[in-house]
Amino acid sequence: MELALVIDWSRAALQKSLELGGLPLLAALVVGLVVGAGQTLTQLHEPVVAFVPRLAVVLVVVLVLLSWLVGRWILFTDELIRSIPGMLG
């Protein structure tokens, strides 16, 4: 197996992981910033207050985007598997 091919596959896998995980992480970041600002204003520094809204928002984002996420994942996997015979011969 050529080193360039391994690097290309690794780059594609990292890009796909950022694409699939980026939206839930971005949602968690935004909610965390809003809740953190609210905690600072109210001087309520309880970790559970910050954790529960982030968890709920990430769950909602994943459930809303689930069909798109799975579709992108399947397309990537299909493309990767289809490229294997070309490398063997």
Domain layout of the chain by residue ranges: 46-89
User: Would you write out the chain's pLDDT as a tens digit for each of its 89 residues?
Assistant: 688 888 988 998 899 999 999 999 999 999 999 999 998 898 888 888 889 999 999 999 999 999 999 999 999 999 888 988 887 76
Residue 38 identity: G
Residue bearing tokens 């910050």 = 50
Helices (H), the chain: 3-42, 47-82, 84-88
Buried/exposed code over 15-50 (b: 16+ C-beta within 10 A; e: otherwise): ebeeebeebbeebbeebeeebeeeeeeeeeeeeeeb
